Amino acid sequence: MDSFNNLLEGFATALTPTHLALAALGVLLGTAIGVLPGIGPAMAVALLLPVTYGLEPTGAFIMFAGIYYGGMFGGSTTSILLNTPGESAAVVAAIDGNPMARKGRGSQALAAAAIGHFVGGVIGTTLLVLLAPTVAGFAVDIGAPDFFAIMVLAFIAVTSVLGASRVRGFASLLIGLAIGLVGLDEMTGQQRLTFGSLHLADGIDVVVVAVALFAVGESLWVAAHLRRKPAEAIPVGRAFLGREDLRRSWKPWLRGPLIGFPFGAIPAGGAEIPTFLSYVAEKRLSRHRDEFGKGAIEGVAGPEATASASAAGTLVSMLTLGLPTTAVAAVMLAAFQQYGIQPGPLLFERESALVWGLIASLFIGLCLLLVLNLPLAPVWAKLLRIPRPYLYAGILFFASVGAYAVNADVFDLLVMFVIGVLGFVMRRYGLPVLPAIIGVILGPAAEQQMRRALQLSDGSLTGLFNTPFALVVYGIVVVLVSWPLIRRLIARPTPPAEAASPEPERPKVDA
Amino acid sequence: MHKAVNAVDKPLSRAWLRERSELGVSAVLVGLGVLVLVDAIRIHTDFAQRGPVGPRAVPVVVGVGLIVVAALLARDVLRGGRGEAEGGEDVDLAAPADWRTVLLLCGAFLANAALIGVVGFPISGAVLFWGAAYALGSRNPVRDPLLAAGLSVVTFVLFNNLLGVPLPGGPLVGTF
């Protein structure tokens, strides 16, 4: 019942006019960004990090969370109407959503997706309310070795679970860690990789790195291969569902969150894997199996509910352990660092008002999103027609504003340019961006925790392994590292029919 | 993604290298690794060290890691492995890279960096937006500059006056 009282207090925080306005702004921006090609929620939050200089933390996180949830809603609109996902969580929505739209059932597909997101979000956020305090309470005693183990897990997970190539994932992670080294060593004050420059002595601000990798790198990369004629969106009316559609959708809506929430909470790449699993599950359970791939509404309803629930799961790990499992969570973690707040088990004690205000605002945001997306879907779809030169010029423009605002220093713009070019090269050669950003954000913290743990153990390496929690986490790390072997042993029972479904080539992690 | 590698080209010929341009990534990683290592060795650890692990340890691990990963990547590329270029809604990977657009875009970005201290953000930001839109193929002689100027001024007022994040106004707004 303690959670319930906290949640009520959270609603009191979230229902103040300022916070309500910020939640509304967040979901509006999030939906727009989800719909817009080229911008994902992670890039959006990165571009908005400078507001942390002007807003108090509760308001800022209410807005960021609104963007995250809104991006989920908006992303499926792009998938359904354009057959190219607006962001990685919505890849699966294109498989059946787009055929539905082409058959003139776009309204039903949009409604199934929007209600699916709402149901998934509500169930996921409820689970967050029920579980997060328990997880935080369980983890409240964890010390330096445990934190270090969690961060190692984050490093290994983003490089091993995601992406086609582990070598390239590790290359990206190490680049991020190297960038994170720049500046004064926190424990001794020694300069590292500063080359005597005063500009570099404070380190490279994480806002500059995040915006450079996500926004500048993406703009340059798109510029090199800009599609001269953007794909045409299928025109669509107001979103609604008939009785038959409703009868076929409600079970997938309820099943999806059960898959999405746990996957969101573990470092397995956010929504990509669970949405695909949900799709496969719905296909197996459906009586209309032959319709899958040609416009089965279950194939939209299930995965979309899964996607939103996974966003809630992501927040559990981020808030209770400080473990970012997706790019958005990583950037939000950077925002916490900007405020000097350490997410982790103590967050629920020290920043109770912030956390519960944030959680309550998620429920409010979901209601707003349902209202925004059901009747207004055709309006959002118009965003797909934005001229691409303006879109990418605007991204570069706001990236520059954000980087400059950090220190009012032109030097930051030049650093951002260099890292942006790096982001371009990484996209060209298939180095994933997420490991680099996790390396920059978690690298310095991981080093501090490791050195603190070794200080306590007087230099003995056992100091890193002397808690049960750390051992469990390292056990998971070992499983992840040996995953290719394990997968070879259990991958047999997948039916080959899946390969025939018209699935978009590869989930694109859109920043 | 493993593509068939043209076995006819002689090693280190121009076509051979172009097919394996990803080796350049390895080179960058080695360079970065050496840089990190050299810098780490330079750190004085004899004083100010607290605890058994000094400020050198992690840079050494990262530097060595970079060099090892560079070697593994080079091995993968020589065996025919290729990094998969990232796709996207607006990305047409079938078209060859358009370097003119990229360079113009870089120019617009750097113009802002060069001008912001001299003429102030409202002007340099407009130059950035207009230049970037031009680079990306927008050629509307009226709408482009108007949009650029409007966006720039609104952003300036929003950040400088409402959010309290100072941006340089330049000579135009200097008197306010």
Q: How far apart are the first and last CA of chain B?
A: 59
Phi, psi of B11 (to 5 degrees): -55, 140
Rounded to the nearest angstrom, the minimum Cα separation between A184 and chain B is: 9
- Confidence check: pLDDT of A409 > 80: yes
Range of the structural domain that residue A79 is part of: 2-487
pLDDT interval class at A86 (50, 70, 90): low
- Confidence check: pLDDT of A434 > 60: yes
- With beta carbons under 8 A apart, name residues in chain A contacting B97: 224-225
Q: Cβ–Cβ of A431/B25 closer than 8 Å?
A: yes
Rounded to the nearest angstrom, the minimum Cα separation between B96 and chain A is: 7
Compare CB distances from A404 to B25, B98, B116 and report the shortest one's residue: B116
Residue A491: per-residue pLDDT: 67
Greater confidence, A1 or A23? A23
Sign of the CA dihedral A157, A158, A160, A166? negative
Place of tokens 């910020």: A22
Q: How far apart are CA A96 and CA A104, in angstroms?
A: 13
Q: Which of A401, A49, A48 is nearest to B116 (CA)?
A: A401
pLDDT interval class at B105 (50, 70, 90): very high
pLDDT interval class at A77 (50, 70, 90): confident
Q: Cβ–Cβ of A53/B164 closer than 8 Å?
A: yes
Q: Cβ–Cβ of A394/B129 closer than 8 Å?
A: yes
Q: Which of A427, A494, A466 is nearest to A145 (CA)?
A: A466
Non-local CB neighbours of A418 within 8 Å, separated by 6+ positions: A212
Rounded to the nearest angstrom, the minimum Cα separation between B8 and chain A is: 23
Rounded to the nearest angstrom, the minimum Cα separation between A103 and chain B is: 22
Q: How far is CA A247 from CA A55, A241, A242, A250, B112, in A?
A: 45, 10, 9, 6, 56
Run of H or E including A268: none
- Confidence check: pLDDT of A508 > 60: no
Helix runs in A36-165, H state only: 41-48, 57-82, 93-102, 106-139, 144-160
- Find the range with the poorest average confidence among A20-34, A327-341, A480-494, B105-119: A480-494
Cβ–Cβ under 8 Å, residues A362 and A69 = yes
Burial class (CB in 10 A: 0-12, 13-18, 19+), A387: middle
Q: Which residues pair with A183 in a beta bridge?
A: A192
Compare CB distances from A223 to B45, B105, B155 and report the shortest one's residue: B105
Cβ–Cβ under 8 Å, residues A47 and A207 = no
Q: Cβ–Cβ of B109/A417 closer than 8 Å?
A: yes
Q: Cβ–Cβ of B73/A168 closer than 8 Å?
A: yes
Q: How far apart are CA A260 and CA A312, in angstroms?
A: 9
Cβ–Cβ under 8 Å, residues A314 and A307 = no
Rounded to the nearest angstrom, the minimum Cα separation between B147 and chain A is: 9
Q: How far apart are CA B14 and CA A321, in angstroms?
A: 51
pLDDT interval class at A1 (50, 70, 90): low
Q: How far apart are CA A43 and CA A210, in angstroms?
A: 8
Q: How far apart are the first and last CA of chain A?
A: 38
Residue A511: per-residue pLDDT: 47
**Taking all residues of chain A, what is their mean pLDDT, rounded to a whole number?**
85
Tens digit of each residue's pLDDT (9 = 90 or more) over A142-185: 788 888 998 898 888 888 766 678 899 999 999 999 999 999 88
Q: Cβ–Cβ of B167/A226 closer than 8 Å?
A: no
Residue A466 in tokens: 């002397």
Tens digit of each residue's pLDDT (9 = 90 or more) over A283-297: 888 888 888 888 899
Q: List, as own/partner pairs, every contact residues A262-266 make where C-beta atoms lie below 8 angstroms and the sequence separation is at least 24, other chains included.
A: A262/A313, A263/A310, A263/A313, A264/A124, A264/A309, A264/A310, A264/A311, A264/A312, A264/A313, A264/A314, A264/A315, A264/A316, A264/A317, A264/A325, A264/A326, A265/A313, A265/A314, A265/A316, A265/A317, A265/A325, A266/A157, A266/A313, A266/A317, A266/A325
Q: How far is CA A303 from CA A242, A271, A273, in A?
A: 20, 9, 10
Q: Which residues pair with A191 in a beta bridge?
A: A184
Residue A366: per-residue pLDDT: 94
- With beta carbons under 8 A apart, name residues in chain A contacting B165: 50, 53-54, 405
Q: How far is CA B119 from CA A183, A296, A471, B160, B163, in A?
A: 31, 57, 58, 16, 22
Phi, psi of B2 (to 5 degrees): -105, 120
- Confidence check: pLDDT of A383 > 90: no
Rounded to the nearest angstrom, the minimum Cα separation between A425 and chain B is: 8
Compare CB distances from B98 to A84, A167, A224 and report the shortest one's residue: A224
Cβ–Cβ under 8 Å, residues A442 and A324 = yes
Classify each residue of B58-82 as buried b or exposed e, where b means 16 or more C-beta atoms within 10 Å of its C-beta. Answer: bbeebbebbbebbebbbebbeeebb
Q: Which of A199, A53, A213, A405 is nearest to B121 (CA)?
A: A405
Residue B9: per-residue pLDDT: 63
- With beta carbons under 8 A apart, name residues in chain A contacting B67: none
Non-local CB neighbours of A79 within 8 Å, separated by 6+ positions: A85, A86, A90, A91, A93, A94, A97, A98
Q: Cβ–Cβ of B52/A454 closer than 8 Å?
A: yes
Instruction: Please tell me the pTM assigned to this model.
Output: 0.86
- Choose the mutation target among B22, B56, B62 for the interface with A, i.e. most A CBs under 10 Å: B62
Residue A399 in tokens: 């990236």
Give a yes or no: residue A371 inside a domain.
Answer: yes
Rounded to the nearest angstrom, the minimum Cα separation between A474 and chain B is: 19
- Confidence check: pLDDT of A279 > 80: yes
- Confidence check: pLDDT of A501 > 60: no
- Choose the mutation target among A63, A87, A182, A190 for the interface with B, i.e. most B CBs under 10 Å: A190
- With beta carbons under 8 A apart, name residues in chain B contacting A389: 132-138
* Selected residues 148-167 of chain B with any CB under 8 Å from a CB in chain A: 148, 151-152, 155, 159, 163-167
Give a yes or no: residue A508 inside a domain.
Answer: no
* Selected residues 18-57 of chain B with any CB under 8 Å from a CB in chain A: 22, 25, 28-29, 32, 35-36, 39-40, 43-45, 48-55, 57
Compare CB distances from B43 to A190, A424, A505 and report the shortest one's residue: A190
Residue B55: per-residue pLDDT: 85
Compare CB distances from B113 to A187, A393, A410 and report the shortest one's residue: A410
- Choose the mutation target among B90, B127, B138, B146 for the interface with A, i.e. most A CBs under 10 Å: B90
Q: List, as own/partner pairs, every contact residues A454-457 make where C-beta atoms lie below 8 angstroms and the sequence separation is at least 24, other chains included.
A: A454/B51, A454/B52, A454/B53, A455/B50, A455/B51, A455/B52, A455/B53, A456/A143, A456/A144
DSSP state at residue A192: E
Q: Once rounded to an integer, what is the mean pLDDT over residues A186-192?
A: 83
Q: Which of B130, B152, B153, B132 is nearest to B142 (CA)?
A: B130
- Find the range with the poorest average confidence among A164-168, A389-393, B43-47: B43-47
- Choose the mutation target among A47, A168, A418 for the interface with B, i.e. most B CBs under 10 Å: A168
- Choose the mutation target among B32, B43, B67, B109 for the interface with A, i.e. most A CBs under 10 Å: B109
Taking the C-alpha atoms of A411, A413, A415 and A416 in order, what is their torsion angle to the nearest 10 degrees? 160
- Confidence check: pLDDT of A418 > 90: yes
Q: Cβ–Cβ of B136/A389 closer than 8 Å?
A: yes
Q: Cβ–Cβ of A397/B151 closer than 8 Å?
A: yes
- ipTM of the assembly? 0.90
Helix axis angle, B99-119 to A217-224, nearest 10°: 140
Run of H or E including A184: strand A183-184
Q: How far apart are CA A414 and CA A403, in angstroms?
A: 10
Give a yes or no: residue A352 inside a domain.
Answer: yes
What's the number of domains chain A is made of? Answer: 1
Q: Cβ–Cβ of B84/A164 closer than 8 Å?
A: yes
Q: Once rounded to an integer, what is the mean pLDDT over residues B122-131?
A: 94
- Confidence check: pLDDT of A437 > 60: yes
Give a yes or no: residue A494 inside a domain.
Answer: no
Residue A234: per-residue pLDDT: 80
Give a yes or no: residue A504 inside a domain.
Answer: no
Tens digit of each residue's pLDDT (9 = 90 or more) over B129-155: 999 999 998 889 999 999 999 999 999
Residue A498: per-residue pLDDT: 42
Rounded to the nearest angstrom, the minimum Cα separation between A278 and chain B is: 23
Residue A12 in tokens: 């009191």
A71-75, A250-254, B4-8: which is most confident: A250-254
Tens digit of each residue's pLDDT (9 = 90 or more) over A324-344: 888 888 889 888 888 888 888
> Amino acid identity of A397?
F
